[in-house]
Amino acid sequence: MSFLLPCPHCGQRSVYEFRFGGEVKDQPPLDAPESAWIDYRFYRTNTAGVQTEWWLHRFGCGQWMQAVRNTVSNEVLESFLPEEKGR
Amino acid sequence: MKFFFQGKTVEAKPGDSIAAALFRGGRRIFSRSFKYHRPRGLLCVAGSCPNCMMNVDGVPNVRTCVTPAQEGVRVKAQNAFPSLETDFLSASQHFDRLMPVGWYYKTFTHPAMWHAVEPIIRKAAGLGEVLPTRRVEYEHQWMHTDAAVIGGGWAGIQATWAIAERGDLVVLVDDQPSLGGSSLYRKNANDLPADAIAKLENMPNVRILQRSSCFGMYEGNLLGILQRNPHSHAVERLVHLRAKRIVVATGSYETPILFPNNDLPGVMLSTGAWRLLDLHGIVPGKRAVVVGSGAVANEMASKLRESGVEVAALVAATEIISARGTAQVTGIQTSTRNFSCDLIVVCGPHVPNAGLVSQAGGKLNWSDAQGAFLPGDLPSNVSVVGGAAGEMPPNAIPPLSTDKRAFVCLCSDVSCKDLCDGVNEGFDVIETLKRYTTATMGPCQGRMCQLSAIGICAKETGRTLGETGVTTSRPPNPSVTLGALAGPGHHPTRFTPMHSSHQRMGAVWMDMGGWKRSRYYKRHQAASESESVLLEHKSVREAVGVIDVSTLGKLDVRGRDAGKLLDLVYTHRFSELRVNQVRYALMCDQGGVILDDGTISRLSETRYFVTTTSGNLDFVQQWLQWQLVGKDWDVHICNVTPGYGAMNLAGPRSRDVLAKLAACDLSSAAFPYMACRESTIGEVPVILLRIGFVGETGWEIHCPAESAEEVWQMLLDAGKEFGVEPFGVEAQRLLRLEKRHVIVGVDTDALTNPYEAGLGWAVQLDKPDFVGKSLLAHAAKNQPREKLVGFILKGAGLPKDGAAVVMNGQPAGRVTSSRFSPIQNGAIGLAFVPVSEAREGASIQVRVGGELSPATVTMKPFYDPEGLRLRQ
């Protein structure tokens, strides 16, 4: 694993500067059954293909971001700050 | 210049490699082979084959033919006893019938048998051993460039020019001592313009990495480059080079021809002979036979004659029956006659050095016209030029052999017969044949043997070379030392502001999350660690003690919504915490598992002071930031850990000590338990938290780091009359254990929820929402499977942390912490037990040193169960 990951603040950086935060999942509503929360906390989709993920630019700007990455080829299609995505 | 070989002095000329100097001095045997201990001499003289590998200054498997001789280096032979000339184990070649291909897979089929012989085989076979070396330094460097050119031959130089003239930044990587490649020795092969190298060196946008091997191409256009002796303070440097475009100009290398005894010293590749003659001015023999035909062989023969070598004959590869000799070549037998000679120069087929191309995702396809596998299907950012692309005279494919003394793989002694046997045993695909025979898997990584192995596999299976295909090229090739991968030995250590004071007082250090902490202090009254710890324990319980807790993680959380954030991530309620109050803070994940704990003090309406456990600060800060993502809240989180020193003053006389120094009323009426104040000690501004991890009246004092040593000293001076003693982590752990205070990560693990750890009181399920609420609400309703309880051991001894709790002969739980407590005069501890046993007075059994020892469960603290002392 040695791909470059574009940080919205810092530009293209080695993936070793980042902490992986797992796939982006929707949190279940508070009153969801126990199973839904267990699923949210402990299960991973383990996508072979494109998925959206959390990354923290740990040895850089220190900010959390999201990246759309192909987990097979490690091609990063885009990266963005989640709060700016919807606007 | 002088260096040492086997303890004897060897003279070297400037520019000599170690092997060249030894060859000039008359040495012909340079190593003993892996399996049969056959003598081996110089073959490629280019750093490709394994024949010249020696131990240089303690580093094994150094290719001495490309390693410049340096003053005073110590060179030792490998895999030979007692000497290279007389190696007792060379007798093993006469027992080769007993050691066919894959012999130990077939022979030592029982594990016990293999374990018995493995040490013997490991000692007899093999390459170098790792000797104690002088401490050497390795470095890492990261570089970015527009283009990288791998290979400094004529093709690489031209490519570098072309790119550099466009204004792009180019890095040229060459593994030889100087640029020029084959133009340096076969001067008539390609005429290198005299000023070519100087012109390149003067271009400002060209960077040349000499004596540097590119050992792999990785994703993201990352090249791994091993640079030898980058400067006098480092032996090797690992360069991580990112290049937008990569030009592979690695040239081609010559490979041996197969005939019996083709591995004897004195059998040399033609390029090896050229290199000895032109680069080192060494005449490789007296009387030579040149094997080959056409222009290449004629050119070689006339070069040898020019240099004063008698050329006995030029023979075609197909005519050879075998080479003769035992320690060295003495002659050659052909189908027509015998020649006596001391040198056989082999003009073998050239193989494009295109391993990097296939690592980049390209393919190697067989070309009948060229007699070689040529690179194709290249990725768009990779190109290949020169010999690596197959720009070379077409190869005549040499004859194959089936003889047991015709060696294909010189690295691990795999003969033609071994490969034939392998195919006959069913390993008829090149990839499985490779794994079974280990051909192409040695230090040369297939450079010398790949083409021959493919040829034999093709012939034995009746397939073409193209159908047989090539084995996969994987990095690293060539090999890389572990030291270079590991890099420089920098281990950053964090010192607290009071470090030198601890040192003066006799601190015994322990490592904790990158910090140095005092485990205990050596004292003349105490003979051992346990005596010191008991003394420190006694002073806290009976007088007053002080401990450095600067390693606590400290976060300053500010803003109108700071309380809202803390309510969300911690299980307790902090928006309602009154100013000047402290509260225990417990953090869980969405699964209700405990992540961290600490304290939160409210210093003002909009400012909280948060502490975390020592090793967990980064995680907690990142977790808080993650919870804030996408929320429009007014919160600022600042890590102030290095900015604050901290110490905990505790014990019945702590108030007397602090009252002499602090500018505030410390009476319990004015400053009760779980309160906090901003005050001063002397001139130093401090935050005082009245909390009691160790179970006595006490204050946690936070102050600017630059004043922490001063405050620490003031406490020790003021406390002298009350018998103050510094205490370390070990005493603190004992003190807190007597209070049954949990340490997250020691007494809890990756599945523990607060109800199991006895921390359910810190969870406020009536809050509207917080991280983990949903699953904690379920956990609160259901009985947990196990619970953390205290236990008092009835017998003698001390269970180890992690010792089993046993019920009915079955493991039923585990000890998380245990210490000898002077209060109980016996071992106490915390343990997870089944919930049925989690009641006052229950009897459990704990494993102590192989025996089961009875213990009594308690749900209360061992010391001051009502908590009166810390409220005094």
Answer whether A80 touches B (CB < 8 Å).
no
Residue B248 CA neighbour count, 13 Å, CB half = 32
Q: Do A40 and B590 touch (CB under 8 A)?
A: yes
pLDDT tens sequence across B203-225: 999 999 999 999 999 988 899 99
Considering only residues B345 and B182, tell me which one the structure prediction assigns the higher pLDDT: B345
Q: From the list A14, A30, A63, which residue is nearest B773 (CB)?
A: A30
Classify B135 in phi/psi space as left (phi over 0), alpha (psi -120 to 50) or beta.
Answer: beta
Give percent of chain B with pLDDT exceeding 90. 80
| Residues B45 and B119 sit within 8 Å (Cβ to Cβ) | no
Q: From the list B219, B625, B769, which residue is nearest A2 (CB)?
A: B219
Q: From the list A2, A40, A82, which residue is nearest B220 (CB)?
A: A2
Q: What is the DSSP letter of B12?
A: -
- For residue B630, the chain A residue with the least C-alpha distance is A83
Paired tokens of B639 = 């890590």
Q: What is the pLDDT of residue B128?
A: 74
Answer whether A1 touches B (CB < 8 Å).
yes
Set of chain A residues whose Cβ sits within 8 Å of the Cβ of B778: 34, 37
Set of chain A residues whose Cβ sits within 8 Å of the Cβ of B218: 2
Q: What pLDDT band is residue B60 in, cutting at 50, 70 and 90?
A: confident
| Best mutation target, A18, A37, A71, A85, to test chain B (most B CBs within 10 A) | A37
Q: Do A37 and B622 touch (CB under 8 A)?
A: no
Set of chain B residues whose Cβ sits within 8 Å of the Cβ of A62: 625
Distance from CA of A82 to the nearest CA of B (A): 6
Distance from CA of A34 to the nearest CA of B (A): 6
Q: From the list B591, B618, B626, which residue is nearest A42 (CB)?
A: B591
Give percent of chain A with pLDDT exceeding 70. 98
Q: What residues in chain B have their Cβ under 8 A from chain A's Cβ atoms?
A: 142, 218-220, 222, 242, 589-591, 618, 622, 625-626, 629-630, 769, 773-775, 778
Q: Do B219 and A62 touch (CB under 8 A)?
A: no
Q: From the list A14, A58, A82, which residue is nearest B630 (CB)?
A: A82
Q: From the list A3, A30, A54, which residue is nearest B774 (CB)?
A: A30
Average pLDDT over residues B284-301: 94
Considering only residues B130 and B427, tell me which one the structure prediction assigns the higher pLDDT: B427
pLDDT tens sequence across B14-40: 989 999 999 999 999 999 998 889 999
Q: What is the DSSP letter of B761?
A: G
3-state helix, strand, coil in chain A (%, to 5): 20, 35, 45
Set of chain B residues whose Cβ sits within 8 Å of the Cβ of A54: 626
Q: From the list A2, A21, A63, which residue is nearest B218 (CB)?
A: A2
Q: What is the pLDDT of residue B126?
A: 67
Set of chain A residues whose Cβ sits within 8 Å of the Cβ of B142: 14
Q: From the list A4, A32, A64, which residue is nearest B629 (CB)?
A: A64
Q: Do B629 and A28 touch (CB under 8 A)?
A: no
Q: What pLDDT band is residue B325 in, cutting at 50, 70 and 90?
A: very high
Instruction: For residues B22 and B15, give the distance between their C-alpha atoms in angstroms, rounded to a whole number.
Output: 13
Q: May I ask the CATH architecture of the domain A4-85?
A: 2-Layer Sandwich (3.30)
Instruction: For residues B754 and B354, give the distance between their C-alpha atoms in angstroms, rounded to a whole number.
Output: 59
Q: Do B220 and A4 touch (CB under 8 A)?
A: yes
B167 pLDDT above the threshold of 50:
yes
Considering only residues B191 and A82, tell me which one the structure prediction assigns the higher pLDDT: A82
Which residue, among B776, A10, A11, A13, has the nearest Cα to A2 in the 3D structure? A13
Q: How far is CA A12 from CA B65, B436, B629, in A?
A: 41, 44, 22
Residue B475 CA neighbour count, 13 Å, CB half = 20
Q: What is the pLDDT of residue B190?
A: 58
| Best mutation target, A17, A27, A34, to test chain B (most B CBs within 10 A) | A34
| Residue B419 burial (C-beta neighbours within 10 Å; 0-12, 13-18, 19+) | buried
Average pLDDT over residues B544-570: 97
Instruction: For residues B692 and B871, give the distance between their C-alpha atoms in angstroms, rounded to a whole number.
Output: 9
Instruction: For residues B667 and B872, give the distance between their C-alpha atoms in angstroms, rounded to a whole number.
Output: 9
Which residue, among B312, B330, B314, B338, has the nearest Cα to B261 in the 3D structure? B330
Set of chain A residues whose Cβ sits within 8 Å of the Cβ of B766: none
Residue A57 CA neighbour count, 13 Å, CB half = 22
| Best mutation target, B141, B629, B753, B776, to test chain A (most A CBs within 10 A) | B629
| Residues B788 and B816 sit within 8 Å (Cβ to Cβ) | yes
Instruction: For residues B692 and B647, give the distance between their C-alpha atoms in angstroms, rounded to a whole number.
Output: 12
Set of chain B residues whose Cβ sits within 8 Å of the Cβ of A2: 218-220, 222
Q: From the list A34, A63, A74, which residue is nearest B219 (CB)?
A: A74
Answer whether A39 touches B (CB < 8 Å).
no
Q: What is the pLDDT of residue B105?
A: 78
Q: Residue B535: what are its φ and ψ, rounded to 5°?
A: -65, -45
Q: Do B626 and A63 touch (CB under 8 A)?
A: no
Q: What is the pLDDT of residue B852?
A: 93
B350 pLDDT above the threshold of 80:
yes
pLDDT tens sequence across B749-772: 999 999 999 999 999 999 999 999
pLDDT tens sequence across B729-747: 999 999 999 999 999 999 9
pLDDT tens sequence across B655-668: 999 999 999 999 99
What are the structural domains, with CATH classification, of chain B?
Answer: 2-98 (3.10.20.440), 137-253+350-397 (3.50.50.60), 256-348 (3.50.50.60), 400-474 (1.10.10.1100), 499-552+643-735 (3.30.1360.120), 553-639 (3.30.70.1400), 782-872 (2.40.30.110)
DSSP string of B352-377? E--HHHHHTT-EEEEETTTTEEEEES
- Which strands make up the sheet holding B329-334, listed edge to edge? B320-325, B329-334, B338-340
Q: What pLDDT band is residue B122 in, cutting at 50, 70 and 90?
A: confident
pLDDT tens sequence across B709-727: 999 999 999 999 999 999 9
- For residue A57, the chain B residue with the least C-alpha distance is B622
Distance from CA of A50 to the nearest CA of B (A): 17
B776 pLDDT above the threshold of 80:
yes
B183 pLDDT above the threshold of 60:
yes
Q: How far is CA B382 from CA A3, B342, B354, B360, B385, in A?
A: 17, 45, 12, 8, 10
A32 pLDDT above the threshold of 60:
yes
Which residue, among B740, B759, B657, B643, has the nearest Cα to B692 in the 3D structure? B740
| Residues B677 and B604 sit within 8 Å (Cβ to Cβ) | no
> B680 forms bridges with which residues in the sheet?
B685
| Best mutation target, B140, B223, B590, B778, to test chain A (most A CBs within 10 A) | B590
Q: Do A2 and B775 touch (CB under 8 A)?
A: no
pLDDT tens sequence across B36-54: 899 999 999 999 999 999 9
B188 pLDDT above the threshold of 70:
no
**Residue-averaged pLDDT of chain B:** 93
Distance from CA of A41 to the nearest CA of B (A): 6
Q: Residue B390: what are its φ and ψ, rounded to 5°?
A: 95, 10
Average pLDDT over residues B254-259: 96
Residue type, B458: A
Residue B467 CA neighbour count, 13 Å, CB half = 10
Q: What pLDDT band is residue B185 in, cutting at 50, 70 and 90?
A: confident
Q: From the list A3, A62, A83, which residue is nearest B629 (CB)?
A: A83
Give percent of chain B with pLDDT exceeding 70. 99
Sort strands B684-689 and B676-681 into parallel, antiparallel or unpaired.
antiparallel
Distance from CA of B511 to the nearest CA of A (A): 23
> B594 forms bridges with which residues in the sheet?
B588
Residue type, B804: A
Set of chain A residues whose Cβ sits within 8 Å of the Cβ of B751: none
Set of chain B residues whose Cβ sits within 8 Å of the Cβ of A58: 618, 622
A86 pLDDT above the threshold of 60:
no
A1 pLDDT above the threshold of 90:
no
- For residue B776, the chain A residue with the least C-alpha distance is A34
Average pLDDT over residues B566-590: 97
Which residue, among B598, B584, B505, has the nearest Cα to B546 in the 3D structure? B505
- Which strands make up the sheet holding B53-56, listed edge to edge? B8-11, B2-5, B74-76, B53-56, B59-63
| Residues B558 and B756 sit within 8 Å (Cβ to Cβ) | no
CB atoms closer than 10 angstroms to residue B836 = 12
Instruction: For residues B202 and B179, give the distance between their C-alpha atoms in angstroms, rounded to a whole number.
Output: 14
Q: What is the pLDDT of residue B134?
A: 67
B181 pLDDT above the threshold of 70:
yes
pLDDT tens sequence across B138-158: 999 999 999 999 999 999 999
Q: What is the pLDDT of residue B194?
A: 78
- A·B CB contacts under 8 A: 55
Q: What is the pLDDT of residue B778?
A: 93
Q: How far is CA B309 from CA B27, B301, B302, in A?
A: 18, 9, 9
Q: From the list A2, A58, A82, which residue is nearest B629 (CB)?
A: A82
Distance from CA of B595 to the nearest CA of A (A): 14
Q: Do B622 and A41 touch (CB under 8 A)?
A: no
DSSP string of B656-689? HHHHTTBSS--STTTS-TTBEEEEEETTEEEEEE
Q: Do B622 and A58 touch (CB under 8 A)?
A: yes
Paired tokens of B776 = 């904690």
| Best mutation target, B219, B617, B766, B775, to test chain A (most A CBs within 10 A) | B219
Q: Residue B281: what are its φ and ψ, rounded to 5°?
A: 65, 35
Q: What is the pLDDT of residue B513?
A: 83
pLDDT tens sequence across A42-81: 999 999 999 999 999 999 999 999 999 999 999 999 999 9
Q: What pLDDT band is residue B187 in, cutting at 50, 70 and 90?
A: low
Average pLDDT over residues B83-112: 81
Q: What is the pLDDT of residue A87?
A: 42
ipTM of the prediction = 0.96
